Amino acid sequence: MTEPITSGILDIHRRYPVLERALQEEAAARGAVLGDRHVLLSDFYERILSGLKETPRRLTRMGQYLLAKGILEHEFADGKSLLGSFLSFRGFVDILIELVNEFQEAALSPEDLKKAIPKMGETREKFAELAIFYAMYRKCLSDFHLWDYEEQKKQVLERLRLSEPIPFLDSLEEIHFRNILSLSRLDFQIILELCRRATRLDQERPSQVFVHLPYDPSRQDASRFLEPVVRKFESTADEFPNLNLEFVIPSGGDPSARDYLLTNLFRKPDGPEPIPPIPSDGTVRLIRASAPEEEVEEMGREIRELLSKGVPVSKIGVVFRSLSLYGQLAIETARKFSLPFTFVQGNPALSSRLVRTLLLPAAILDSRFSAREVLKFLNSGFLDLSAISQESLHPRDLEELVVRAGVIDDESVPWEHGLTRLIHSLADSRKSSEEAEATVQKAESLLHIIRNMKSLFSGFPESAPISVYAARMQLLIRELKVREKVVQFGRGGEAGSHSLDFLQKELSALRSFEDTLDEIVRTSRALPAIGEIFGEASKTETCVGRQDFFDLLMEGLKDRNLAPPSEMEGIMVLDAEELVGLEFDYLFLGGLTEGEFPHRHFEEALFRDEEKEALNLALGEKIFMSTPLKQWKENLLFYRSIASARKVLTLAVSTLDEGGEVALPSQFLESSLKLLEENPEHPLTRVTQQGSVVILCRDELTRLITFLLWRPSEEKSLSMPAALLSGCLARDPDSMLRFADIFKRCEMERMRESPSMATGDALELLSDGRIEAPEILSRMARKWGEDGKWSATQLEDYGKCPFMFFMKHVLRLEKPLFPELDTDPLSEGALFHHILEKYYRKMEDAGLLPLSGKAEEETALREVAQAAFSAWEAERVTGEPHFWEIRKKSVLRTLSLWLNYERKEMEGFTPFLFEADFGRTAPFSIPDRQGGPLYLTGRIDRVDVAACGDAYRVLDYKNSRSESHKEKLRVRNLGKLGFQAPLYALAAEKLLREKGKLTTDAPLRVSGYALLKGPNLVKQDFADPTLADYFKTDPDLRAALPEGGKNLADEICGTISHIRAGRFEPSGQGCEYCDYSQTCRYRSGGESEGG
């Protein structure tokens, strides 16, 4: 539009949300939006150029990518150039485009760059290549009449310098650039040219140009990022009197905690005086959650409470530094709680679950069929997998098969190899195990599915024209019947009451994805082939690599938003840069973790800070911004975010990141909390999760009732949840059983928290870790009765924690295992045992025991180890090949060091028994006090005997240096935490006597742990006076022992009797390393804790 603007005033906005708010406010004030006073900066540039007779073709980001990559491949792919050497690095083209854009924003010509090269020191060669690339890029734009965004701004500058009329512009009295957060050199030149043009047209009354900066002169500590911009404008004041610099200073009000924070944050010691302490007024609140999902959900609950109180949606804002993670979480929270969140321009396309599903083929191919990505694909509800499988496998079955087959990806453990090996290993047990046969059938089905998937994805060759890849993606969408599945969901199946909203959103996502494919094809066809640009034979279409195509697809989707709702009124969800210029009564500022806000800026790989400084010196002007100055932008954004909260500011943080790793609180949050908590009045209000009774989903209602029935308080009587419960039951009588279970659990918790728990009477209470139900005890008696066999591991597990024993050995619950890139500790330990057994047997056969340091000992170790490695590779999961090679060297080195330690430190004994079983083929037992047998079983790693037959030594190999092994051998812990060493010593003595290797009735017994990675030997020789009767097993002799005397047989009997009696109380020891801590009800000091 080139017609004059009737109001004579033009407001130019940097971001769309601010423009949207300005239009809403004008409509509210005048009843309608008059004229076109408010425009975006990009639209302003479009208007200036709209009068041109011929408009060049616009080069999109995708076009930039194709052009830059084509220049690199045509001119720098000789293997000798620096830029060409980076061609294979993923993301390098994007880095180069950013650098080119930075050059253009600085209004730097290829000639300017070329002149500066001699002054660039050691980086002259790199900048010479960059100058060549930059010149070629600019030449392509010029010769083929193409514009990228920066070239458009250059053309704007050129048109402003001409005397040709621009009607809409020349009629203006005022031009306002609102909320300018940063200005490039080119933007600055355009603003100055506007002032110059206005003066040229009317010297007496030129149009006034206003630049509004979010800058506070009294708070330069918080506004330092904008100081270079301010100084630049101030230096032009005399030349351009019609240029007005306006500072947008945060508005103040009655003293509040928010104002206290705003005044003191980032404040220098010589800054303004702080305002007096402010009492807690609820204007600054804190949400601390365990994970980003819970953080955003808690914000959603707070927002829902505000809406229930009648707060208009326009008064509430939600802001994060970036929406790449939190945008999707906000969408899911809005869906869960029915909140009217809006992203103004529509939700980001990449936030759609459907779009992410459609990108899975790229992730699968890029990761070489990673198990994680393949499972996502097979478990997706958006895909009809009938094209690759006639039968579906349950997600749990899929995960179990992946784990058992040891599949990581096709490079480490290929799918075909892992599944085939699993099928063959189970085949022998088919006749005796129906479960094995069922698993074989599932594995064969999964193998069939994987082969069909690979066939399905074979249509994506390593290199092809873009149109081929795009057509293949469209075919894939049809073959997997994506549109039909979306419509099926939207008609009521999985989508529930939100089916219409679901259908509109996902169909919009599908359209956006398909439109992006079409745009990529159009761009590639519109852009001349690179050979044609450089005068070579024309090509019909440029070929790209498969990964290049998927990178292009991602680039296109980054800039796309799903169709916004027809009703734009909603709660704005913004990033921190979009927030500048907006205010909300209630502002929620989330994602306050280190690396998220403040965003961590890194030096550019191709344009480091020292190179920027050198180029600035060469050009004679400070043009390029260093990384530290970019970091100051984060301070400004956080300061302005706080200023955007008019009434209440809610800060939110989570202790874990999206991957479950520990997340550190942001330095901004830490500084804010320190300020507020050091204030004598403590104005910070901590938000706790309160069960709202205004609007509740079913799960929330269940949790609320459980909590209130468990711990009713004076403020909330049972009448309120009782009323809610009655209403729920009236609508859903089938839920009675579910609530009956809740009542039972509440009663259990009340009993657990009764005073008797604190006085040691826990065994008299329900749910205290003791089993009393006769039917359960009878089932346990069948398993742990007179014929049951007990191992040292079971006894030690009970000694460590009876509850852990119950979970591990009674319920037989195991922690899920997943394939790892490296060999896990258990597998490594088994490998150590295997090699050492084979090695010592070989040395025994060769007559080389005890070891003496002969050369053949080391040779034999390498031979045995290599045979073991080969067997392991053929029969077991060994992880990623490169890690496995490192692990093999580590194992061999560890064993070599151990043998050297044994030769020097363990003289006087000769290895005799290796991996010796007891209690398995021949019974091994000790009598209980009544004379009945208790059967024991185990496998002893190694038994050494002294030459004179009066002593023996029992060793158990450990591939760790843990101090816990020493603790087990302490006298006070024997028969409690440590059963293995004395029990194995007792069993070894019986085995040695049977073989005639002992010459005395009272041999010296030495038992301990061979710590291979020390190397070290920790042992107990049982010479302590308190252990004189420790190995007596005769019931009569044990009965005659003094009270309190230690005796192994009695300690074993006592432990087994507790197990048979159903006593499984949590011990509270080693909880931080326990696999069952999340299910434990251990309580300490009267408080409930996760044990």
Instruction: Give long-range contacts, CB 8 A cutoff, 24+ apart: 215-218.
Output: 215/247, 215/248, 216/247, 216/249, 216/250, 217/247, 218/249, 218/272
Per-residue pLDDT, 728 = 56
| Contact criterion met (CB below 8 Å) for 654 and 290 | yes
pLDDT tens per residue, range 867-924: 999 888 877 777 667 678 878 888 998 899 899 999 888 888 999 999 999 988 888 9
Instruction: Determine the distance from the C-alpha atom of residue 1074 to the mean position of all C-alpha atoms in its chain, rounded to a whole number.
Output: 23
Query: Of 190, 223, 247, which residue sits at a domain end?
Result: 247
Q: For the chain, how are helix, strand and coil distributed in percent, rounded to 5? A: 55, 15, 35
Same domain for 121 and 177, yes or no, is no
b/e string for 911-949 if b means 16 or more Cβ within 10 A?
A: bbbbebebbeeeebebbbeeeeebebbbbbbbbbbbeee
Model confidence at 976: pLDDT above 90: no
Same domain for 300 and 426, yes or no, is no
Query: Of 558, 592, 611, which residue sits at a domain end?
Result: 558
Residue 336 lies in a domain: yes
Does 43 or 715 have the greater pLDDT score? Answer: 43
Residue 838 lies in a domain: no
Beginning with the edge strand found earlier in the chain, give each strand of the sheet holding 208-213 in spatial order: 38-40, 9-13, 174-178, 208-213, 243-247
Same domain for 201 and 334, yes or no, is no
Residue 917 lies in a domain: no
Euclidean distance between CA atoms 820 and 689, whole angstroms? 37
Q: Residue 714's pLDDT band (boundaries 50, 70, 90)?
A: very low
Euclidean distance between CA atoms 381 and 378, whole angstroms? 9
Same domain for 573 and 638, yes or no, is yes
Residue 758 lies in a domain: no
Mean pLDDT for the chain overall: 80
Per-residue pLDDT, 41 = 87
pLDDT tens per residue, range 92-118: 888 888 888 888 888 888 998 899 888
Same domain for 535 and 413, yes or no, is yes
Per-residue pLDDT, 731 = 54
What is the domain count for the chain? 5
Same domain for 377 and 440, yes or no, is yes
Q: Which domain holds residue 36?
A: 9-56+166-247
pLDDT tens per residue, range 634-657: 999 999 999 999 999 999 999 888
Smallest CA-to-CA distance from 899 within 983, 836, 975, 834 is with: 836
Euclidean distance between CA atoms 354 and 365, whole angstroms? 18
Model confidence at 764: pLDDT above 50: no
Same domain for 481 and 493, yes or no, is yes
Tell me the CATH number at 681: 3.40.50.300
Same domain for 357 and 402, yes or no, is yes
Percent of the chain scored above 70 by pLDDT? 80
Smallest CA-to-CA distance from 938 within 795, 786, 784 is with: 795
Same domain for 119 and 176, yes or no, is no
Measured in degrees and rounded to the nearest 5, phi and psi for residue 327 equal -60, -45
Residue 152 lies in a domain: no
Euclidean distance between CA atoms 1085 and 921, whole angstroms? 48
Out of 346-355, 495-504, 662-671, 956-965, pick the least confident.
495-504
Sign of CA dihedral 498, 500, 505, 507: positive
Same domain for 116 and 23, yes or no, is no
Q: Residue 176's pLDDT band (boundaries 50, 70, 90)?
A: very high
Residue 187 lies in a domain: yes
Residue 1045 lies in a domain: no
Can you tell me the mean pLDDT for 791-803?
A: 90
Q: Coil, strand, or helix at residue 658? A: coil
The pair of structure tokens assigned to 136 is 């070629």
Does 733 or 774 have the greater pLDDT score? Answer: 774
Query: Of 247, 262, 292, which residue sits at a domain end?
Result: 247
The pair of structure tokens assigned to 139 is 């030449």
Same domain for 77 and 134, yes or no, is yes
pTM of the model: 0.59
Measured in degrees and rounded to the nearest 5, phi and psi for residue 952 equal -145, 160
Beta carbons within 8 Å of 441's beta carbon, 6+ residues apart = none
pLDDT tens per residue, range 312-371: 999 999 999 988 788 888 888 888 888 888 875 556 677 677 888 888 888 888 888 888
The pair of structure tokens assigned to 775 is 């039917």
Per-residue pLDDT, 1015 = 86
Same domain for 671 and 740, yes or no, is no
Residue 278 lies in a domain: no
